[in-house]
Chain A
Amino acid sequence: MTSTTAMPTAASLSSPFQRWRRRFLRHRVALAASVILLLLVVIALLAPVLAPYNPYQSDWLAISSFPTAAHWFGTDELGRDILSRIMYGARLSLWVGLASVSLGTIGGIVLGLIAGFKGGWLDSLIMRSSDVLFAFPGMLLAIAVVALLGPGLNNVILAVAIFSVPIFARLVRAQTLTLRHSTYVDASRSVGASNTTLMFRHILPATLPSVVVYFTMRIGSSILTAAGLSFIGLGPEPDVPEWGNMLASSRSLMMAGAWHVSVFPGMAILITVLVFNLLGDALRDTLDPKAR
């Protein structure tokens, strides 16, 4: 017995991951966004080394100073260096974004898999609860959670995580529903694979591309929500260098014409959120399941 059809060429010999990597490296926006994100991460990690000043220390000789050679981004109403505070703030924002969305994603994936795979009353329960959470504006829900648990960084993370759960649950459930009856899942079932094997080896990996896309985009909006919570005073202590906190304390100076106190933290938020959104778009382009 021989197989008569032509064998694939060497160029096509690759795992799905390697093919994605090739597409990703060819995507210009993806590369630019990755470089900026990498820069942000480096700044956040090395803030103690890179920051020119202690973010808590006031320079009493330069209160509300405009940008100067000594203070590139100027200082705030207590004379603290804004550049240093933004650098330290990057640590908090990235951490809040990553931690909250990770928690939300894990919860969402588990609930979505169960709902989609088991169906029945469990599915109804999980999805109707998600619908209830969806009905609240995200910010309102986060405020409610923080109001219940008290302000503080960890509670912000929890609040943001909770309202990320239904998004991922719905996403994963929808894909699980179609994959559950796909032929290759049936094929594994017919060789005796258990439900756990089917769920985690065959269904979950197939949902990951879209989960990764949403995960990346969610980080951007979670950072925005977390900053919003801090801005209205539900985040960490007011003196903590957090971007939302910085905007909140700049309100009075802004009216007095000191533009730098709000523009620089605002720019930091803008750039960070934009980078995550662009990266999410690029991931969606390159993970396109049709190219599989």
Chain B
Amino acid sequence: MTTQNTVNDSHALILKADHLSVAFESEQGPTQALHEISFDVYEGEILAIVGESGSGKSVTSLTTMGLLPENGRVTNGHLWYSPRDGDAIDLTTLDDEQSRILRGTRLGMIFQEPMTSLNPVLKVGDQLTEAARLHLKLSARKARDEALAMLSKVRIPSPERVMDEFPYSLSGGMRQRVMIAMALMTRPRLLIADEPTTALDVTVQAHVLEIIRELQREFGMSVIFITHDMGVVAELADRVVVMQAGRVVEQNSVHDIFAAPAHPYTQKLLAAVPRLGAMRGMPLPHSFEIPGESAAEAQASIDYDTDPLLEVDALEVRFPISSGWFGRARQEVLAVDRVPLKIWPGETLALVGESGSGKSTIGRALLRLAKSKQGFIQFADTRLDNLTDDQFRHWRGDMQMVFQDPYASLNPRLTVGFSIAEPLLIHKRVPSLNKAMPTVERLLEQVGLKAEHARRYPHEFSGGQRQRIAIARALALEPKLIVADEAVSALDVSIKAQVINLMMKLQRELGIAWLFISHDMAVVERIAHRVAVMHLGRIVEIAPREQLFAAPRHPYTKRLMEAVPIADPAQRHHRPVDTQEPRSAVIPRHQQQPPYHYREVGEQHWLFTEGNP
């Protein structure tokens, strides 16, 4: 079934940005965040503002809400808001009190971080009713009834119980639902949602988007939806404003934007969006087609009859949950439950799953950054699991890791050159830092940076560049396997495509095997030879990529695929909203888990099955 949100016939304007400019004062002088941007929001429509980091999309929403930080000010233009009755108001001229009243009654906002946008010391019920009692002058009883009704509207199971809970006991998805309920309590005419699903898992994101769409229709409100994700835009928006570096470069209806992007930046953005299904009919991974770069290339095929590079069996990791200061742990999280795994030389195995599924823990356990309880690990004919930490250090050169957060993975006090040279110095491959510099410079060039960057500090680089530096460091010891733990998740789409192409280029040239840990199915479809799907600490299905995407067998794999936003507005479909709290893998300490095994359902295609074979 396809649904189309049509713009209200009346075409009544609710918000109009007219050559709006915003500047921020800083130590280095003023920086212009918005350059004379203009756009309209009509009643009853969902307007998506898309752009990469630094494009000014969040500044736009903060300006609308009157929430600009102290050092920000409007330097030019107007932001007209049309009330139902009376003349349009210029939001940029309101004082704090006026904009506070408007915020409380006519405008609502949802923020990105569900974990921090609720007050941790107030019960959910109190936070929900606060605005309604203040602005709508409702009695405590009436406000509570309203809140309960709103919680059921956002599909929260047992709203009565949730009302009396503190935010910490709710999952991220539940908190974001509470946030939406809170923003809607005062029945705003305009809801601003600033990346509300970016921090959520894909299945949870699908539910939250569905809820926003339903409520938008029910209340007939307008929504400004700010996001960097073209897939989400295609799923939700009526019209799209594309922003780049503080300017609006293109605005149009969602169908026209996707069908015929006019501006080169929009074209580039759309080209870089990984689309699920884009790889149908291609058995081997393929790099991205990026305008202005060399043509996409296919990876080499893997001979599965040879010996694997890495063989893992029955890997198990448990984290005790300690209760209190001297309390003994009674429970533990079963992060990884007897997982088997094989990776062949030059292969990319993707490990997908939602947060908490244990996929990162597997990577960390392989590199001994997390302690495994048991498990057989063999790397290139050598048993690694029974080595002491000291003996294992020699093997670290063969297995490297690239981390998710490019800002945190480099020591801010060391030059980039030193960070890259460090592994060489530690393993005594070079006698001194000076002797390491030629290698460092070669590595920097290999990942697309310049040799002279070696003398700079991490803060001088963008996120994408830092990730390249992290990859250069991982390459320093000429490893055979690199674990990439959500290595491109924090990057903007166009940068993401470049870094993925880099990873694939390195595989073609150096024969590196990647263990690619990700929650992003579309990226995985691009890069992986084989895919393993993780759920609650277990691999539930493992198969060659094409087979898995074409014919997923396990119900969880199907659910995961179903939830991925499709970057094509013509393929919109309704998804049922799930009201279940996600299950967790918390078990009593030392509890034995029931046996399970894998059933072969196709070539290299294994399916999780309960019980003994």
B464 touches A5 (CB 8 A): yes
Cβ contacts A249-292/B at 8 Å (1 or 0 each)? 00000000000000000000000000000000000000000001
A16 touches B505 (CB 8 A): no
A187 touches B410 (CB 8 A): yes
Given A190-B369, A292-B459 in contact, is the A3-B422 Cβ separation under 8 Å? Answer: no
A-B CB contact pairs (8 Å), 7 listed: A1-B293, A1-B498, A8-B456, A16-B412, A184-B412, A188-B422, A192-B393
Q: Which residues of the other chain, A, contact B502 by a CB distance below 8 angstroms?
A: 1
Q: Which residues of the other chain, A, contact B476 by a CB distance below 8 angstroms?
A: 191
Q: Which residues of the other chain, B, contact A57 by a CB distance below 8 angstroms?
A: none
Does A68 interact with chain B (Cβ within 8 Å)?
Answer: no
B397 touches A187 (CB 8 A): no
Q: Which residues of the other chain, A, contact B494 by a CB distance below 8 angstroms?
A: 4
With both beta carbons as reference points, the residue of chain A lying nearest to B294 in the complex is identified as A1
Residue of A6, A14, A189, A191 with most chain B CB atoms under a 10 A cut-off:
A191
- The residue that B465 contacts in the complex, of A5, A183, A190, A193, with Cβ under 8 A, is A5
- In angstroms, Cα B409 to Cα A15, docked, is 18
A187 touches B456 (CB 8 A): no
Does B170 interact with chain A (Cβ within 8 Å)?
Answer: no
Given A1-B505, A189-B369 in contact, is the A184-B408 Cβ separation under 8 Å? Answer: yes
- The residue that A15 contacts in the complex, of B422, B423, B457, with Cβ under 8 A, is B457
A191 touches B456 (CB 8 A): no
- In angstroms, Cα B364 to Cα A184, docked, is 14
Considering only residues 184-222 of chain A, those with a C-beta below 8 Å from chain B are 184, 186-194, 197, 202, 205-206
Given A12-B460, A186-B369, A191-B423 in contact, is the A1-B448 Cβ separation under 8 Å? Answer: yes
Question: B276: shortest Cβ distance to chain A, in Å?
Answer: 25
Cβ contacts A161-199/B at 8 Å (1 or 0 each)? 000000000000000000000111011111111100100
- In angstroms, Cα B409 to Cα A3, docked, is 20
With both beta carbons as reference points, the residue of chain A lying nearest to B401 in the complex is identified as A190
A191 touches B408 (CB 8 A): no
Q: Which residues of the other chain, A, contact B408 by a CB distance below 8 angstroms?
A: 182-184
Q: Which residues of the other chain, B, contact A1 by a CB distance below 8 angstroms?
A: 293, 447-448, 498, 501-502, 505
- The residue that A190 contacts in the complex, of B367, B404, B448, B501, with Cβ under 8 A, is B367
Considering only residues 385-409 of chain B, those with a C-beta below 8 Å from chain A are 393-394, 396-397, 400-401, 403-405, 408-409
Question: B293: shortest Cβ distance to chain A, in Å?
Answer: 8
Question: A217: shortest Cβ distance to chain B, in Å?
Answer: 23
Does A13 interact with chain B (Cβ within 8 Å)?
Answer: yes
A191 touches B400 (CB 8 A): yes
- The residue that A3 contacts in the complex, of B404, B411, B449, B505, with Cβ under 8 A, is B449
With both beta carbons as reference points, the residue of chain B lying nearest to A289 in the complex is identified as B412
- In angstroms, Cα B459 to Cα A13, docked, is 9
Given A187-B403, A190-B396 in contact, is the A3-B456 Cβ separation under 8 Å? Answer: no
Question: A219: shortest Cβ distance to chain B, in Å?
Answer: 25
A193 touches B422 (CB 8 A): yes
Q: Which residues of the other chain, B, contact A188 by a CB distance below 8 angstroms?
A: 411, 422
- In angstroms, Cα B560 to Cα A36, docked, is 67
Question: A39: shortest Cβ distance to chain B, in Å?
Answer: 30
Given A3-B449, A186-B403 in contact, is the A193-B369 Cβ separation under 8 Å? Answer: no
Q: Which residues of the other chain, A, contact B328 by a CB distance below 8 angstroms?
A: none
Q: Which residues of the other chain, A, contact B447 by a CB distance below 8 angstroms?
A: 1
With both beta carbons as reference points, the residue of chain B lying nearest to A189 in the complex is identified as B369
Does A11 interact with chain B (Cβ within 8 Å)?
Answer: yes
- In angstroms, Cα B410 to Cα A16, docked, is 14
Q: Which residues of the other chain, A, contact B556 by a CB distance below 8 angstroms?
A: none
- In angstroms, Cα B412 to Cα A292, docked, is 8
- The residue that A2 contacts in the complex, of B405, B427, B448, with Cβ under 8 A, is B448
Q: Which residues of the other chain, A, contact B319 by a CB distance below 8 angstroms?
A: none
Does B199 interact with chain A (Cβ within 8 Å)?
Answer: no
Known A186-B401, A197-B426, A292-B412; further 15 A-B contacts with Cβ < 8 A = A1-B293, A4-B495, A5-B465, A5-B495, A6-B462, A12-B459, A12-B460, A16-B412, A182-B408, A183-B405, A186-B369, A191-B396, A191-B427, A191-B473, A202-B411
B401 touches A4 (CB 8 A): no
How many chain B residues touch A (CB < 8 A): the figure is 47
Does B312 interact with chain A (Cβ within 8 Å)?
Answer: no
B409 touches A192 (CB 8 A): no
- In angstroms, Cα B401 to Cα A192, docked, is 11
The 3 closest A-B pairs by CB, nearest first: A191-B423, A1-B448, A192-B396
Q: Which residues of the other chain, A, contact B495 by a CB distance below 8 angstroms?
A: 4-5
Question: B28: shortest Cβ distance to chain A, in Å?
Answer: 7
Q: Which residues of the other chain, B, contact A184 by a CB distance below 8 angstroms?
A: 408-412
Q: Which residues of the other chain, B, contact A186 by a CB distance below 8 angstroms?
A: 364, 369, 401, 403, 409
- In angstroms, Cα B470 to Cα A202, docked, is 16
- The residue that A192 contacts in the complex, of B397, B403, B415, B448, with Cβ under 8 A, is B397
- In angstroms, Cα B494 to Cα A292, docked, is 27
Does B477 interact with chain A (Cβ within 8 Å)?
Answer: yes
Q: Which residues of the other chain, A, contact B464 by a CB distance below 8 angstroms?
A: 3, 5
Residue of A1, A2, A5 with most chain B CB atoms under a 10 A cut-off:
A1
Question: A272: shortest Cβ distance to chain B, in Å?
Answer: 32
- The residue that B468 contacts in the complex, of A3, A11, A12, A187, with Cβ under 8 A, is A3
B369 touches A13 (CB 8 A): no
Given A1-B498, A186-B403 in contact, is the A13-B427 Cβ separation under 8 Å? Answer: no
Given A1-B502, A3-B465, A184-B409 in contact, is the A13-B460 Cβ separation under 8 Å? Answer: yes
With both beta carbons as reference points, the residue of chain A lying nearest to B415 in the complex is identified as A15
A192 touches B423 (CB 8 A): yes
Q: Which residues of the other chain, A, contact B465 by a CB distance below 8 angstroms?
A: 3, 5
Does B413 interact with chain A (Cβ within 8 Å)?
Answer: yes
A187 touches B473 (CB 8 A): yes
- In angstroms, Cα B367 to Cα A188, docked, is 12
Q: Which residues of the other chain, A, contact B396 by a CB distance below 8 angstroms?
A: 190-192
Does B461 interact with chain A (Cβ within 8 Å)?
Answer: yes
Cβ contacts B502-546/A at 8 Å (1 or 0 each)? 100100000000000000000000000000000000000000000
With both beta carbons as reference points, the residue of chain A lying nearest to B459 in the complex is identified as A292
Considering only residues 1-57 of chain A, those with a C-beta below 8 Å from chain B are 1-6, 8, 11-16
Question: A146: shortest Cβ distance to chain B, in Å?
Answer: 35
- In angstroms, Cα B274 to Cα A290, docked, is 35
Residue of A2, A192, A202, A206 with most chain B CB atoms under a 10 A cut-off:
A192
- In angstroms, Cα B409 to Cα A190, docked, is 11
- In angstroms, Cα B573 to Cα A145, docked, is 78
- In angstroms, Cα B456 to Cα A12, docked, is 10
Q: Which residues of the other chain, B, contact A292 by a CB distance below 8 angstroms?
A: 412, 459
With both beta carbons as reference points, the residue of chain B lying nearest to A8 in the complex is identified as B460
With both beta carbons as reference points, the residue of chain B lying nearest to A183 in the complex is identified as B408
Q: Which residues of the other chain, A, contact B448 by a CB distance below 8 angstroms?
A: 1-3
Question: B506: shortest Cβ distance to chain A, in Å?
Answer: 10
With both beta carbons as reference points, the residue of chain B lying nearest to A179 in the complex is identified as B411
With both beta carbons as reference points, the residue of chain B lying nearest to A197 in the complex is identified as B426
Question: B305: shortest Cβ distance to chain A, in Å?
Answer: 31
Question: B490: shortest Cβ distance to chain A, in Å?
Answer: 11
With both beta carbons as reference points, the residue of chain A lying nearest to B268 in the complex is identified as A4
A4 touches B498 (CB 8 A): yes
With both beta carbons as reference points, the residue of chain B lying nearest to A205 in the complex is identified as B413
Q: Which residues of the other chain, B, contact A3 by a CB distance below 8 angstroms?
A: 448-449, 464-465, 468, 498
- In angstroms, Cα B408 to Cα A292, docked, is 12
Question: A197: shortest Cβ distance to chain B, in Å?
Answer: 7
A194 touches B413 (CB 8 A): no
- In angstroms, Cα B427 to Cα A190, docked, is 12
B393 touches A16 (CB 8 A): no
- In angstroms, Cα B234 to Cα A217, docked, is 58
With both beta carbons as reference points, the residue of chain B lying nearest to A23 in the complex is identified as B27
Q: Which residues of the other chain, B, contact A202 by a CB distance below 8 angstroms?
A: 411
Q: Which residues of the other chain, B, contact A197 by a CB distance below 8 angstroms?
A: 426
Q: Which residues of the other chain, B, contact A8 by a CB distance below 8 angstroms?
A: 456, 460-461
Q: Which residues of the other chain, A, contact B470 by a CB distance below 8 angstroms?
A: 187
B456 touches A13 (CB 8 A): yes
With both beta carbons as reference points, the residue of chain B lying nearest to A202 in the complex is identified as B411
- In angstroms, Cα B465 to Cα A6, docked, is 10
Given A1-B502, A183-B405 in contact, is the A193-B459 Cβ separation under 8 Å? Answer: no
